[in-house]
Structure 1
Amino acid sequence: MNPLHRSDTRLAIDMGQRLLRAVEARVRRGSIDVLRAISVEAPDTLDTSDPVAVGAWMRDALAAAGIETNRATFAVNREAASHKRLVLATTHAEDFADMTRLAMLRELGAAAEGVEIDFVPAGIEDGGTVVHALAVPRREIDFIRRMAEQARVRVARISLRTFGTAALLETLDDGAPDDSLRLAIDWTGEGLELCFVSGGQVRHSRGAELKYQRDAGAAAESAVTEVRRSWAAWRLSQPEVTVAKSIVFGEREVVRRIAGGVEDAVGPIVELASHPRVHGRTEAIDSCWPLAGMLLEQSLRRPRFDVAAPRRAPDLAARRRMRAYAAVGAIGISLLAGWTIGAKDLGALKARAVDLGEKAEGAKAESQRFKREYFRAAHLAAWEEAAPHWLDLLVDVGAFAPDQTRVVFDLFNGTLDAGTVRLVKEQDKATRIAVRRPTRVTVEGEARERTAVDGLREAFLKDQRFSLESPGTDRVGGRRLPMPFTFILRPGGAAPGAATGSGAGTSSGTAAPAGAGAGA
């Protein structure tokens, strides 16, 4: 087999009491291509009640037919299962499983022991939910599993053969309205199934086991009897319903006799020889049409029965756990994402910090040079601004002299000392340089008598504008007057020329070089 086609190739198997039927097809969207179809009679020596023996024989039969697909859908015959159409009084999907199981247990009674129940929702009716329920004894499922294991075929799905028949009728383009009732008579050689389908749903189905007979006439006679019995039972419950179309499929010679034998009761019956959605080797199908329908059902992409893995009621505790796990996972992912983004941003910030540090280190020397130049200029400006008002000081000192017949000033010498320089830091203001330059005034003169000199000295001592640094020099013999004197004054207090006298030599911002002076 081409390995490119292995992935979409499916296998359907129906193992009866004596006959093995199988269809291998390539499943496409909405259709299938039949590759192989076989109907093989088991040898009389085979114990068909032994799943191991049947599985070993099946393996050889499939291999002999060239069937290599190892994953199959297994069919259960209608007579071995129970199918019910139920209306559940709820529309909540989480309640379907439990309510369906309870309803089927009531329907089956004592036969409910040891069955697997699956269901498929089929719409809304009268405020409730329509479901089709299928119950299959667990012993049948176990038999299929053991048989498949021995045949080295994996069980993909276990379903009712009837639903393959229903899929064929549903997709049959025969011109009849979709809601019209169709009847399918499926003769397998070992059993007979009647399936009534309308609107894409199985409305009624009935199956009966028949004895396998190699003689076509005898097989057809027993089949006709069973069809008449099943039809009569259905007609009693549905006397007013009209069947739009009846189809029969199976081995051609037998189904022709069946159609002729029940036509007077059922109406015209046609043999299914082809199907618009089943392509490939359809001439080899005959009694395997329902198996092709089971594979066609897979191509329709809709809910299907599978008693091998039936639908269960949701585990609400598990759902809460999963929500908690999801929340924890979301938190973990968020934390991991946050940590990842943070680590990335931190790395970027560190790289930027290193880059800025390198730039700052490179600019540090330039910044320091700029600061030196700035404070050098500010220092010079502060010195230039520290210039006392010498004329005002001269006027203030001259005001202390009595009349010129008693005291004469000979010398007025102003000296500006070097002083100190300091940095002044004020909040919200730029750092500035302040220069304090003490001012010293030397006054020399002559007096007529000692008392005049003492009075002048006392006047300077009492005045708050000046401080007398030297008490003066007592000398005798001046050029004009007999008592010479020398006073060294340091101004302090109000600025020179003000009502209170001269000011100290303190400057802010600029200063002049030391040693400047004035004399009079």
Structure 2
Amino acid sequence: MNKRDTAVVDIDRQRVTVTLASVDAGRAVVKSCRSFARPAEVDPFDGSAVGVWIKEKLRESGTVGARVVLSLPRGDVVLKRLSIPAGAGVVAEDVVGAVRLQMSRQLSVPAESSAIDYVPMASGAAPSSDGAGLAWVTAAALPGDRLDWCRAVGRSAGIRLARIGLRCFGAGHVLAEESLRRDGGVLGVVPTGSSVEFVVVESGQLMLARAVDIPWAADDAVELSAYADRVAVEAKRTWMSHRAGGGDGSAQVVIVLGSGPGAEAVCDRCSSSLEMPGVTMVPPGASTVRNEPEPTSSVAAASIGLLLEEAAGRPMLDFLHPRRMPDHAARRRQFVLGGVLAAIVGIGTPVVLSQLELSSLDDELRRHREVVTRRQAEVSEMMAEHARLSHMERWSDVRVDWIAHIGALSEQVPSPPEALVDGLDGLMNAQVDFTAKSGQYAGGTWSSAQTSSFTIRGRVQQRETAASLRGRLAAGEVYSVDSPTPDTGDRFSFQLFTPYATPRKPEVPEGRGDRATPRAGGRPESPAGSADGGRDPVDSPVKAGGGGS
């Protein structure tokens, strides 16, 4: 991208036209021109949304990195021709104040937030009735909300706007040379997608600019003819308005910017309506825009005029950098700010040094905290591994010697045929508990507990034998006895509970006071364990049946 390349982004209601050109020695060379229709989902009142869409189109048109000028339609601004006092004692700063004062009276929006700029007219001063001179300027005001919208477009599009100008002033500059070559005014017509702009140029100076909402017609011959008739009517109204305002009544030519059948039709109708010669025109160096569909070539011609206006060094409108009133209190503020700066340097230097030292200490503290965080993570990982290992070890300690228990029970059952065991079921319930210390894993204790149950079923010849067997089992220190079902006939069924992994040989006690105290329901208390850290119950069954001893 050449540093001299400038992209003019012309924003209409329904379309955006991007014209990339370079200006050298007062001549513009168009490199590309693209026009894009705005999608319906893009809100035209949302500058950010429009900017995002324009950013994509700038990338498609290959203008990323170029200098960007925003071109606005005539309908976005208030445009007035003002007379202000002129004389030896009137300086440019006074003109700014006079223009702002007069424009503020003409605006329906606050002038403080609006961008107001003006262009001095080269027609010279006109004498007033009191002998003082009057200077004429063309002033324009862009409302504050529209200016904010333009800035939002630039931010969202990722571009830095170099200038915000008007399309009609670009068209006026293109026609300025024609007006200087002719002895009279030039009426310019600029068709766009949603409106038509009319400009009157006399002696190289834009005298009048007007816009009418006439959307561009389709390529159909009937619609195009009706469109040309409407434009011709408005062109005549524009010229009559110019004459009524004191302008030169001798129009020399009507010029339609652009090329193509539409521009030719508009030119013929306007020429017939105004009874003056009519021609179509594309600026020199912009021959490439002739290949673009209408009315893109017309908009591109006006965009080129904005670039040529800058290259010519003439006074121009720029709503991004408008002329401002002088600030008489600026020098006093500079002295005050200089004193404040000296105070800041004198007082702030020790503070800055302290802040630097504090920042260094903060960095060191941050590094130590990172080390502590890593170490804490390692300790937590180690604790988790220790917890898993301890949990597995506790579970590995939980076991039952079923053979030994069956042997011990067999010793208590009388021999057949006095008694016969035909069913034996075994089941172990176990749990592993962890008790934290002050809510922390470190220092906590692991414990495990288990309870084994046996269900013995069988037959006896006499009921006294079953009662005697029950008494012997209950009298021992190993088992507690419960009867899940009532004994009937020659059948008996006992349920035994023990917390021990292996049986100890029972000793028949002298009294019932030496018997293990069972829990409610016949189950003894578990020997050890608490359930603060979680509990994992396990049932380990064993069954035997069909025999006894």
Same fold (TM over 0.5): yes
Alpha-carbon distance, 1:289 to partner: 0.7
Counterpart check, 1:244 vs 2:252: yes
SS of the residue corresponding to residue 89 of structure 1 reads strand
* AA at the equivalent of 1:138: G
Q: 1:226 aligns with which of 234, 248, 273?
A: 234
Q: Is the 8 A contact 2:100 2:116 kept in 1?
A: yes
Counterparts of 1:168 and 1:60, CA distance in 2: 30
Instruction: Tell me the equivalent position of 2:106.
Output: 107
Q: Is the 8 A contact 1:75 1:159 kept in 2?
A: yes
**Which piece of structure 1 moves more, 244-253 or 313-322?**
313-322
Relative to structure 1, the CA distance from residue 319 to residue 35 in structure 2 (aligned partners, 3 Å threshold; closer, same or farther) is farther
Alpha-carbon distance, 1:96 to partner: 1.2
Is there any run of 5+ residues in structure 2 with no aligned partner, and where?
A: 127-132, 339-549
Counterpart check, 1:313 vs 2:309: no
Relative to structure 1, the CA distance from residue 213 to residue 204 in structure 2 (aligned partners, 3 Å threshold; closer, same or farther) is same
Q: 1:78 aligns with which of 62, 74, 85?
A: 74
* AA at the equivalent of 1:108: L
Instruction: Tell me the equivalent position of 2:63.
Output: 67
Alignment of 1:132-143 (within 5 A): 132-143=138-149
SS of the residue corresponding to residue 166 of structure 1 reads helix
Q: Is the 8 A contact 2:191 2:216 kept in 1?
A: no
SS of the residue corresponding to residue 107 of structure 2 reads helix
CA deviation digits over 1:440-478, x for unaligned, max 9? Answer: xxxxxxxxxxxxxxxxxxxxxxxxxxxxxxxxxxxxxxx
Q: Is the 8 A contact 2:195 2:211 kept in 1?
A: yes
* AA at the equivalent of 2:194: E
* AA at the equivalent of 1:86: L
Counterparts of 1:240 and 1:14, CA distance in 2: 31
Q: Is the 8 A contact 1:35 1:280 kept in 2?
A: no
Identity of aligned residues (%): 28
SS of the residue corresponding to residue 45 of structure 2 reads coil
Alpha-carbon distance, 1:234 to partner: 3.5
**Which piece of structure 1 moves more, 44-53 or 131-140?**
44-53
Relative to structure 1, the CA distance from residue 295 to residue 69 in structure 2 (aligned partners, 3 Å threshold; closer, same or farther) is farther
* AA at the equivalent of 2:106: E
Q: Is the 8 A contact 2:154 2:160 kept in 1?
A: yes
Q: Is the 8 A contact 1:159 1:307 kept in 2?
A: yes
CA deviation digits over 1:250-282, x for unaligned, max 9? Answer: 462222221222222223453434434x45634
CA deviation digits over 1:230-250, x for unaligned, max 9? Answer: 344334445861112210124
Alignment of 1:92-241 (within 5 A): 92-108=91-107, 114-123=113-122, 124-126=124-126, 127-172=133-178, 175-177=181-183, 180-211=184-215, 213-215=217-219, 217=224, 219-238=227-246, 241=249
Counterparts of 2:135 and 2:337, CA distance in 1: 32
Q: Is the 8 A contact 1:248 1:269 kept in 2?
A: no
SS of the residue corresponding to residue 58 of structure 2 reads helix
Q: Is the 8 A contact 1:55 1:146 kept in 2?
A: yes
SS of the residue corresponding to residue 314 of structure 1 reads coil
SS of the residue corresponding to residue 264 of structure 1 reads helix
Relative to structure 1, the CA distance from residue 267 to residue 41 in structure 2 (aligned partners, 3 Å threshold; closer, same or farther) is farther
Alignment of 1:4-83 (within 5 A): 5=2, 7-83=3-79
TM-score under structure 2 normalisation? 0.53
* AA at the equivalent of 1:294: L
Q: Is the 8 A contact 2:30 2:286 kept in 1?
A: yes
Q: CA RMSD in A?
A: 2.9
**Which piece of structure 1 moves more, 233-242 or 47-56?**
233-242
Counterparts of 2:259 and 2:110, CA distance in 1: 33
Q: Is the 8 A contact 1:10 1:69 kept in 2?
A: no
Relative to structure 1, the CA distance from residue 320 to residue 63 in structure 2 (aligned partners, 3 Å threshold; closer, same or farther) is same
Instruction: Tell me the equivalent position of 2:297.
Output: 286
CA deviation digits over 1:182-236, x for unaligned, max 9? Answer: 1111111211111111122211121122345545525444433433443443344
Is there any run of 5+ residues in structure 1 with no aligned partner, and where?
A: 327-520
Alignment of 1:332-347 (within 5 A): none
Relative to structure 1, the CA distance from residue 201 to residue 319 in structure 2 (aligned partners, 3 Å threshold; closer, same or farther) is farther
* AA at the equivalent of 2:320: A
Counterparts of 1:252 and 1:112, CA distance in 2: 42
Q: Is the 8 A contact 1:98 1:313 kept in 2?
A: yes
Counterparts of 1:308 and 1:282, CA distance in 2: 28
Counterparts of 2:33 and 2:318, CA distance in 1: 23
Counterparts of 2:254 and 2:143, CA distance in 1: 31
Q: Is the 8 A contact 1:189 1:219 kept in 2?
A: no
CA deviation digits over 1:45-76, x for unaligned, max 9? Answer: 43323222222222222222222244311112
CA deviation digits over 1:114-162, x for unaligned, max 9? Answer: 5321112335403233322111112222112111222222111111111
**What is the aligned length?**
319
SS of the residue corresponding to residue 316 of structure 1 reads coil
Counterparts of 1:113 and 1:210, CA distance in 2: 33
